[in-house]
Structure 1
């Protein structure tokens, strides 16, 4: 009996040791000496994913990984995608990443005011996106940072950007102020695109929007320089002063030559500029000019504006710009 008891103790110790080794193998550090990337294709089985892990050096044995995953990893399926696995990550943590779909996220960023020709350039330059994409219609993309995964198409990514604009514009339109002068969401985007190009200071947007709203109400020309530049460069920087002939060109965009809004947006405006147009400040200003600090000074009358312009010219002469 004593001998059987000793054998039982030994057996129990062996089982405990085996379980310890299993848990250590499953939850302990993995063999990868550095970060590795593993791509799990759509529809891949656990076995197929394990083979890719073994090939990348993230696990010692694909067969052992599958066995441990089925016994110890739960029933949650793995998800397809590109995974960036840290050095020495354990097998259990690898499975948790794949079950949770914690894939490598890549981003393409569209800044506020970016014209659509440059949106297309950014999409085409984004690594690991597939396919080609045409220049989208101006004003249809909502500026933001958009995540994507390896193998996503540029068309799909652009559609998400355009859907985001449609959704945001619809929400903002419902909250519009009675002070807004625009009559349709499209008009809101057109005017917001001008506001976006006219100021880099967030605190000025609603006042800039008020100036243009007041001008539209009074039937005045908007006289916005960015609308003159747009037909020439499609939104890219002009790199020189506007020519007199360009100020007189009647092309549907030039707000020095034609009253009202231009025929379309001149960039992709951000949320803040859309909000500013739909809720402009309660200002009577009709004019603004640069103040030398990156902002603008506003005026209700032409007399006040001319005085502000003289001050701006004096600043420029002091800088040697005139």
Structure 2
């Protein structure tokens, strides 16, 4: 199969020299796998693409548009198994780094043949070229990959390991790396450089389910050499066992094989495998059917959908093909109920349609709509819960989401989920794939369950000297860290300051707790005053020592990690700089100097 390239939905392979992808590498990409007409782990790929797009401030391209382009490219390629690379460029501009806000992004989709089987004896070397630390761009899959390009020039084995500036293992050039030693899964933390692959998160979940202890942290070459098993992973190869690193040989593969088998099963789950729409089955039957009814319905373009705007159709439980066809005709969706009923009869679909909510689009055919009814290809949406938000924010967001059914008041919803108070912080921010018609309570229940799993995993792998007595205390501390900074590299330092203050009996004096209390009392005006810092509330950490009663927001992985691995040191104060980082001080005198140097009106002062 030759490669198929679409640029902005058109079959072509030439890109303008003024495109910022060529000029600056100003773009993002994802490499996906299509297996048996199913796009694997698409929701995770799209979520990462969206996260990078938002951080680089590239204008939005809808998920629907991407799937339309991918379907078209695969249809042209006439294949059901392929590697699909999607590239999002900021677009075209004149020379110079600046750009206009309304610049139109460029969409690129490349379909290639799936690679042949990997070599049996898979060998790794160690690259001289490594990663530079860049926390601001870490885990964004941007198009500037010169570090990997230079590393591949050195390649003398099947793959090579790339190190960071401190000589710690980060990844291989095209994937993540893992080691297994005596029931423990080891993999590098990637907060300063490298990419968290879509398969990496699934592998960590699978490892926990297989009762392996998971350790994400600094990983040296010697630690890899000491492992019983080593494997690498990426979207294309899945999981591949490593036989040799330099002169070190590995002969155990049992646990790796179990993880690989579980990953393969996970990839076929409904939430992880998006069925694609380029269907070619039943074409002969459709042609035969067209001949039979052509004389009766010549004045109809019977296989076209009549609507001009997309909408969601509800096929209720127990509705047969006759009732469904009649309803669609009455609502002006199809030209003739008889055509739909005849098609269903010829194809043997008349007794196979399934209830649910279905997307209906102007460019669909009646055949596509009927096929969706039979395969239960129900309408689904991505819903993103952003870290650092309160449960009331999530409740309002979800109850105002058209795709979901409301469960009434907040109290009633919590009763239906079975979740017990306290609620704050006990919901995991993530992108959730939901079916239209799902309840708000079902989304919150999934989010709560995921939080419990992540919290327990972090607690099991906490610092052995951590002076917190329970996972709930760690969650509260993580929420304070989450609201204090978005700069992941400093979170463990801020955790260290908070822990030292707790140990010596100093109040934490963190502004977000005061804001949380004021918002709950409907007294927050958008800024804090000296008077606000004396507001009477158990959450006010200026007048109360210790942690607040509950968390104050949802948390990210990096904040949970920081809360359970506070950095050592002697700092007791910090103040925000203009770039969002912080200046730390061990004495109040030095802290006052930092305030004088860095303080701006909206600074956080501790």
Cα displacement (A) at 1:270: 2.9
1:171 & 1:77 partners in 2: Cα distance? Answer: 43
Distance 1:36 1:240 in 2: 43
Structure 1 or 2: larger strand share? Answer: 2
Query: What is the CA distance between 1:111 and its match in structure 2?
Result: 2.1
Structure 1 equivalent of residue 379 of structure 2: 104
Alignment partner, residue 124 of structure 1: 399
Greater helix share, structure number:
1
Q: Where does structure 2 lack aligned partners over 5 or more consecutive residues?
A: 1-284, 415-422, 602-606
Tell me how far apart the structure 1 counterparts of residues 399 and 521 of structure 2 sit (CA, whole Å): 18
The aligned residue for residue 447 of structure 2 is 161
Give the greater-gyration-radius structure (CA). Answer: 1
Deviation per residue, 1:75-100 (Å, 9 max, x gap):
99433322222224223322332233
Q: What corresponds to 1:4 in structure 2?
A: none
Compute the displacement of 1:292 (Å): 1.8
- When residues 36 and 241 of structure 1 are mapped into structure 2, their CA distance, relative to the original with a 3 A threshold, is closer
Backbone CA RMSD of aligned residues: 3.5
- 1:240 corresponds to 2:527: yes
Q: Is the 8 A contact 1:177 1:279 kept in 2?
A: yes
Say which structure, 1 or 2, has more relative contact order (CA 8 Å, 6+ apart). 1
Q: Distance in 2 between matches of 1:16 and 1:266?
A: 59
**Given that residues 58 and 88 in structure 1 are in contact (C-alpha distance below 8 angstroms), is that contact kept between their aligned partners in structure 2?**
no
Cα contact 1:199–1:205 (8 A) shared by 2? yes
- 1:73, CA displacement in angstroms? 5.4
Preserved contact between residue 320 and residue 350 of structure 2 (Cα < 8 Å): no
Q: What's the TM-score, normalizing by structure 2?
A: 0.44
| C-alpha contact 2:425 2:555 (8 A) present in aligned 1 | yes
Asked whether the 8 Å contact 1:177–1:278 carries over to 2, the reply is: yes
Quote the Cα distance in structure 2 between the aligned partners of 1:271 and 1:16.
51
Q: TM-score, normalised by structure 1?
A: 0.77
Deviation, structure 1 residue 211 = 1.9
CA change 1:48–1:148 in 2 (3 A) is farther
Instruction: Give structure 1 stretches of 5+ with no counterpart.
Output: 1-14, 317-322
- Once residues 348 and 286 of structure 2 are traced to their aligned partners in structure 1, the CA distance between those partners, rounded to angstroms, is 20
Deviations 1:161-189 (A, max 9, x none): 32332233223323323354332121122
Task: Provide the residue aligned with 2:482 in structure 1.
Answer: 196
Separation in 1, partners of 2:389, 2:317: 34
The change in CA–CA distance for 1:70 and 1:129 in structure 2 (over 3 A counts) is same
**Matches of 1:100 and 1:18 in 2, distance apart?**
22
**Deviating 4+ runs (over 6 angstroms):** none
How many pairs align? 300
* Matched position secondary structure for 1:260: coil
Q: Name which of 329, 335, 342 aligns with 1:54.
A: 329
Matched, 1:133 2:409: yes
Where does residue 30 of structure 1 map in the other structure?
304
1:287 — aligned with what?
573
Report the equivalent of 2:463: 177
